[in-house]
Structure 1
Amino acid sequence: MVSPSPDKANGYDVEAQAGLARYLTNNTVQSFSWRNLNVTVKDHKNKQPLSILTSSYGLVAAGQVLALMGPSGSGKTTLLNALAHRVAASNAQVAGDIMMDGQRANRTMLRQASSYVEQEDALIGSLTVRETVDFAARLSLGQTISSAERHNRVDSLIAAFGLNQQANTIVGTPLQKGISGGQKRRLGVASQLVTSPSILFLDEPTSGLDSAASREVMSYISDVAKQHHIIVIASIHQPSSSTFALFDQFLLLSAGKTCFQGPTSETQAYFERIGRPIPGHYNPAEYLLDHVNTDFAKDRARADQQLQQVHDAWESSDENQRLIERTTVQSPPEKSVTSSSKTASSSRAALILLHRNWIKAYRDLLTYGTRIAMYLGLAILMGTVWLRLPYEQTSIQPFINAIFFGGAFMSFMAVAYVPPMIEDLQTFRKERANGLYGPLSFTIANFLIGLPFLFLIALLFSVVTYWLSNFRSSAGGFFWYLLWLFLDLLAAEGLVVLVTSVAPIFVVALAVTAFANGLWMSVGGFLVDLGSLNVFWKYVFHYIDYQAYVFQGMMVNQFRDTTYTCARVDGKAQCMYLSDLAAKGKIRGTAVLDAYHYAHDDKHIGKWVGILISIIVVYRLLGYLVLRIQKS
């Protein structure tokens, strides 16, 4: 273990650790254990139950760090998730006892007493180190502590994890370099420790780091755990010998069964006693992982037999029997293990998330900056293609085409919101699983933060296209055009939120959203007018197509109060659309609306606005319900 100097070594601040002790001494859980834990799934081939974790026992005391190790597919991540009361595996059945201080702990109790740091921790790249920890504190601690105390706790954690010099540095985005990989791992742990958990679960905290960075990260974690009596359980892939020595306890898994569980210092003696001595010049962790890994064995039958011998040796060992005896379920005392809730109220959490989203939105160009540039480019393209159309019969169809193009492609290009939405969902699922807030707060904040940016996009697009294309020249006409585009964008973004909530996979979400937009374009009333549209498509999809209402509204806005000069052939007026102005060689715009079967009174326009708002609300409500029923 690193032995820091009295002042600072490797960024380790002794004074900060002393200050941090004031905030991390309220842990009430002295031991965490599990007994006869089994996880089974249904075999895809024969549909029979398949055990992926068998009869696991364990005990970790406050201040200790337990390493879960094993080859790929050994069950270490399954065990970690089962212990944290997370989804252990798809459609998995979990049986056994999980206990805090010897008492059975349910999902709510455990999540209030613990925090979980995922392998790919969903840090927000546009936030600074201090903001990351501070927002975690605000979401988890709420109004239980004063603002000054919260700032002191945040500063103490940042200093304790050697991040003082990076406190005002952003985490890092694809366009902006931030902190290093090792610093991100330390930040991920610090942002969870701010909630003062009694138990900390870490999924591969050293994954992707070199040997020196891995040791640095685990050294910080080990020091904080010991000084503040935190139980740490970490799945580790293949630590170096110096990193391995930092762990107090060691649990070795293979094929879902335990090969050893006990103090790291006793590992050498145990394996020597069962006839599997660890050579002196070997990294113990590397040797043991190779020893219980049968995936690459040349003689698979012999390797399986040797592994079974290791499993049998553990089953019959004195160490295993003592562990089983120590993990008995105790009768609950008069005062059971409890933990105060760390979940902020929905309204408060929504305000905090709104603040955080605002910082992300204006700092991260990928969130809205690129979309603004993209839509502005589309506006210039549209305005210069349909440039200053004259009010003549030959311009009627180009006006209609421009209206369709503007609304349809504004909606279609909302697919650009898929990547940032998936990133937001990753952060949400991590923080929800740690009990910080629920889907309602996330949905409200996500909707509200989009309003000013989407309005800005609609405004910039309208300013460019409306006057360049020579749409109806009036302030009222411009603001109606702006309103339809704004509602169009709100509905399109609501669709993206719904699709990504159901399928948060980039390619899938992109394909489904693009398909949906293609469907809306097809049945919206432009490509095929309502009089000719197939009955099935008309009654099943047309009336729930938000693009259809946008197109109708923009058509009425352009044609209700405008007239067009008919073409003249041999000195006589030839009018494409017949109206009461035909004798004067003109076309009243309402004749175009009649040809499309569009009503153009204020009552219908108000109804279309109401339907559009309803569609927007339904998309958001469905997105909320999807997040609510999903497991974390």
Structure 2
Amino acid sequence: MGKESEDLEKNSFSEYTHLRNTSIKTLSWKDITVTVNDRHDGSPKEILSSISGIASGGDMVAIMGPSGSGKTTLLNVLAHREASLNANVQKSINLNGSETSLDAFRKTSAFVEQEDALIGSLTVYETLNFAARLSLPGGVSKAERMATITSLVGALGLTEQKNTLIGTPIRKGLSGGQKRRVSVAAHLITSPKILFLDEPTSGLDSTASFEVMKFVKGIAKDYNIIVIASIHQPSTATFELFDSLLLLSGGKTVYNGPIARMVDYFASLGHAIPLYTNPAEYVIQLVNTDFSYGQTSALEVLSELQSSWSASVQASEVQNAIATSQASQDGIPEHISDESSNRFLTPVTLIHRSFIKSYRDIVAYGIRIAMYLGLAIMMGTVWLRLEPTQANIGAFINAIFFGGAFMSFMAVAYIPAFLEDLQIFTRERANGLYGPTAFMVANFIIGIPYLFVIAVLFSIVAYWLSNFRSTGEGFWVWVIWLFLDLLAAESLVVLLSSLVPIFVVALAATAFANGLWMSVNGFMVQPEALNVFWRYVFHPIDYQAYVFRGMMVNEFGGRNYSCGSDCRCIYPSALEDQCLIDGNAVLHNYGYKTGDVGKYVGYMLVITLGYRLLGWLVLFLRKH
């Protein structure tokens, strides 16, 4: 971008800074130590050891180190996130020299994940609009929000692409560098004063990396934002954009100070950086012992560098700066704690966003609709135009079982779409935007119309082709049972995928659960014949059992079947003298009653609600 266009973008971006103008002069951390138990012998193992540092407004700090050095752990601790599973964390982190609450910290900071938390089926403008609606304080007007978005789009240099989709695996969208800038901008929407970046240049070429970090540096300098980024082997141009470096190795500090003084510091220790060498690559190689192959020289060099830093003048300067900051005790303005987005409207915003995603992204529901229609055609042509005779009663029962059980079984196709939504939720929740209640409510509501459409389309094909009870009432009752079936099945998917958010495991668990429900729903073995364990433990909570009962009552509760030319009826009934079988006789054989339908519906609703509540509980208890 030229100088003139950059000035224009900066001017437009400044339009929204009045929305939040909180002053954060310093972010300091002292003696951060993270310890975990060793997997083999259970002994304590330090991931980080007494890490201290300070950053001032407008500073851009790079956290670097070889793999396993603890840079991601440090970034998580600084951002008040979980450092590591079952880790013991000792920390002292202050804003303007004072400790602050987690809630207030989150309202003045933002965390950009290594992977872009973007919905590919939204445009750039829509992405920023929903980010603003979820995060801006409730008192911000729509006009202010629109001005903020327009300003950010201009600052991004993406005015011409504002209506371009982010991009999905089947629809091309923005480039990698443009996506990363949108991801950063979505977090800048609330004008945070501290921005954490986890590997912001990961997966980008050197040009795109420089473009992204130059944009971030400009914003940081112009609006006094503290930027702390973990970064891996940046190019020389990208590295020189940072103001200071915190270099880690083996969980300990090797260097912590200005980039401009780094070359002289290492030269003073006998490790001069050669000319025409990327200084970032040189210092990483210097402290990397992964490929020393048991040689003691590399370990000795690292130990020397770590001890040299501890005894250095620069380390004392860092400690003095932290002490000076803490002595000031400026704290942060109290009004930050009072700023909050409109939580009441959050589910509405999520529903709106999910609706756009669902109809644009054919993977979410489009493919499922096509799949269910294919299943309906297969079922309708296999059970094609069955005549209402006793010879076909078994076929009708089989069709009822197949229609209900396999519709619910194929809900496994929803797992990928839900896991994608869950990933977005996890990241947005970690940034304090909303909790599991809003997520679960929105997820449930957005699925209702699509599942009803699936139930109707499937029934239009399968119900009439199979020649079930030919009345409008019979058709719509069948539709309602399929709809309830899909609601329960999708709720089961939500529960199991929330419990184990790994595709293969969630798929296996859902398939197993549906196989269990098929086995004990009353079709394979009639309820009265089930052994005590399955009958009283699993059959009462089997949603497929109530769907099967409801569909059986719908078909046989109001229809008669011919006994054939010899009038030998296999089900005795009051119509036997007319050479007919009263369908109620079939129900009686299964122990079903026509008057219990309302109760079955109630059980279905309770089971569906139970799955959703359990899914909510799983997300509520899980720490992020």
Instruction: Give me the whole-angstrom Cα distance separating, in 2, the residues matched to 1:504 and 1:358.
Output: 22
Instruction: Give me the whole-angstrom Cα distance separating, in 1, the residues matched to 2:612 and 2:294.
Output: 57
What amino acid sits opposite 1:521 in the alignment? M
Q: Pick from 102, 114, 119: which aligns with 1:107?
A: 102
Show the 5 A alignment for 1:511-550.
511-550=508-547
Aligned 8 A contact 2:138 2:340 in 1: no
Aligned 8 A contact 1:344 1:437 in 2: no
1:74-114: CA deviation from partner (whole Å, max 9, x where unpaired) = 10000000000111111111102011111123322211110
Change (3 A) 1:526 1:173: same
Q: CA deviation at 1:53?
A: 0.5
What amino acid sits opposite 1:70 in the alignment? G
Q: Pick from 161, 166, 191: which aligns with 2:161?
A: 166
Helix, strand or coil at the partner of 1:233:
strand
Name the counterpart of 2:617. Answer: 625
Q: Pick from 50, 74, 79: which aligns with 1:79?
A: 74
Q: CA deviation at 1:302?
A: 2.1
What amino acid sits opposite 2:7 in the alignment? V
Instruction: Give me the whole-angstrom Cα distance separating, in 1, the residues matched to 2:216 and 2:22.
Output: 16
Instruction: Give me the whole-angstrom Cα distance separating, in 2, the residues matched to 1:540 and 1:177.
Output: 50
Q: CA deviation at 1:300?
A: 3.2
Q: Pick from 476, 480, 497: which aligns with 1:479?
A: 476
Instruction: Give me the whole-angstrom Cα distance separating, in 1, the residues matched to 2:470 and 2:339.
Output: 56
Instruction: Give me the whole-angstrom Cα distance separating, in 2, the residues matched to 1:109 and 1:89.
Output: 23
Instruction: Give me the whole-angstrom Cα distance separating, in 1, the residues matched to 2:339 and 2:158.
Output: 25
Helix, strand or coil at the partner of 1:327:
helix
Q: Pick from 312, 317, 326: which aligns with 2:321?
A: 326
- Alignment of 1:14 with 2:7, yes or no, is yes
Q: Pick from 574, 585, 592: which aligns with 1:591?
A: 585
Show the 5 A alignment for 1:607-626.
607-626=599-618
Instruction: Give me the whole-angstrom Cα distance separating, in 1, the residues matched to 2:492 and 2:519.
Output: 17
Task: Give the TM-score taking structure 1 as reference length.
Answer: 0.96
Helix, strand or coil at the partner of 1:86:
coil
Instruction: Give me the whole-angstrom Cα distance separating, in 2, the residues matched to 1:543 and 1:494.
Output: 17
Q: CA deviation at 1:444?
A: 0.8
Aligned 8 A contact 2:419 2:503 in 1: yes
Q: Pick from 16, 31, 34: which aligns with 1:23?
A: 16
Name the counterpart of 2:414. Answer: 417
Instruction: Give me the whole-angstrom Cα distance separating, in 1, the residues matched to 2:275 and 2:121.
Output: 47
Helix, strand or coil at the partner of 1:148:
helix
What amino acid sits opposite 1:294 in the alignment? T
Q: CA deviation at 1:331?
A: 5.9
- Alignment of 1:605 with 2:600, yes or no, is no
Aligned 8 A contact 1:57 1:324 in 2: yes
Aligned 8 A contact 2:64 2:246 in 1: yes
What amino acid sits opposite 1:64 in the alignment? D
Q: CA deviation at 1:337?
A: 4.4
Instruction: Give me the whole-angstrom Cα distance separating, in 2, the residues matched to 1:165 and 1:448.
Output: 34
Helix, strand or coil at the partner of 1:94:
strand
What amino acid sits opposite 2:10 in the alignment? Q
1:182-211: CA deviation from partner (whole Å, max 9, x where unpaired) = 101000000000011010000000001111
What amino acid sits opposite 1:138 in the alignment? R
Show the 5 A alignment for 1:10-409.
13-24=6-17, 26-328=21-323, 330=326, 336-338=332-334, 339-340=336-337, 343-409=340-406
Name the counterpart of 1:458. Answer: 455
Aligned 8 A contact 2:138 2:342 in 1: no
CA RMSD of aligned residues (A): 1.4
Instruction: Give me the whole-angstrom Cα distance separating, in 1, the residues matched to 2:386 and 2:236.
Output: 75
Q: More displaced, 575-584 or 241-250?
A: 575-584
Question: Identity of paired residues, percent?
Answer: 54
Change (3 A) 1:248 1:335: closer
Aligned 8 A contact 1:581 1:587 in 2: yes
Change (3 A) 1:57 1:45: same
Name the count of aligned residue pairs. Answer: 620
Instruction: Give me the whole-angstrom Cα distance separating, in 1, the residues matched to 2:327 and 2:277.
Output: 45
- Alignment of 1:553 with 2:546, yes or no, is no
Instruction: Give me the whole-angstrom Cα distance separating, in 2, the residues matched to 1:449 and 1:364.
Output: 14
Q: CA deviation at 1:334?
A: 8.1
Q: CA deviation at 1:573?
A: 2.0
Q: More displaced, 80-89 or 345-354?
A: 345-354
What amino acid sits opposite 1:250 in the alignment? L
Instruction: Give me the whole-angstrom Cα distance separating, in 1, the residues matched to 2:339 and 2:230.
Output: 25
Instruction: Give me the whole-angstrom Cα distance separating, in 2, the residues matched to 1:616 and 1:622.
Output: 10
What amino acid sits opposite 2:326 in the alignment? Q
Aligned 8 A contact 2:560 2:583 in 1: yes
Name the counterpart of 1:580. Answer: 574
Instruction: Give me the whole-angstrom Cα distance separating, in 2, the residues matched to 1:282 and 1:245.
Output: 13
Aligned 8 A contact 1:346 1:440 in 2: no
Instruction: Give me the whole-angstrom Cα distance separating, in 2, the residues matched to 1:91 and 1:206.
Output: 29
Helix, strand or coil at the partner of 1:7:
helix
Q: CA deviation at 1:325?
A: 2.0
1:501-521: CA deviation from partner (whole Å, max 9, x where unpaired) = 111111111111111111100
Helix, strand or coil at the partner of 2:456:
helix
Aligned 8 A contact 2:34 2:87 in 1: yes
Q: CA deviation at 1:475?
A: 1.1
Task: Give the TM-score taking structure 2 as reference length.
Answer: 0.97
Q: More displaced, 17-26 or 492-501?
A: 17-26
What amino acid sits opposite 2:229 in the alignment? A
* Large movers: runs of 4+ above 3 Å: 331-338, 340-343
Q: CA deviation at 1:144?
A: 1.9
Helix, strand or coil at the partner of 1:573:
coil
Aligned 8 A contact 1:367 1:417 in 2: yes
What amino acid sits opposite 1:316 in the alignment? A
Helix, strand or coil at the partner of 1:499:
helix
The unaligned stretches of length 5 or more in structure 1 are: none
What amino acid sits opposite 1:421 in the alignment? F
Q: More displaced, 575-584 or 536-545?
A: 575-584
Aligned 8 A contact 2:103 2:337 in 1: no
Instruction: Give me the whole-angstrom Cα distance separating, in 2, the residues matched to 1:314 and 1:334.
Output: 30
Instruction: Give me the whole-angstrom Cα distance separating, in 1, the residues matched to 2:328 and 2:436.
Output: 34
Instruction: Give me the whole-angstrom Cα distance separating, in 2, the residues matched to 1:447 and 1:54.
Output: 45
Helix, strand or coil at the partner of 1:23:
helix
Helix, strand or coil at the partner of 2:94:
strand
Instruction: Give me the whole-angstrom Cα distance separating, in 1, the residues matched to 2:489 and 2:341.
Output: 30
Helix, strand or coil at the partner of 2:403:
helix
What amino acid sits opposite 1:248 in the alignment? D
What amino acid sits opposite 2:611 in the alignment? Y
Instruction: Give me the whole-angstrom Cα distance separating, in 1, the residues matched to 2:236 and 2:555.
Output: 75
Helix, strand or coil at the partner of 2:567:
strand
What amino acid sits opposite 2:65 in the alignment? G
Q: Pick from 494, 498, 518: which aligns with 2:495?
A: 498
Q: CA deviation at 1:154?
A: 0.6
Instruction: Give me the whole-angstrom Cα distance separating, in 2, the residues matched to 1:385 and 1:435.
Output: 52
The unaligned stretches of length 5 or more in structure 2 are: none
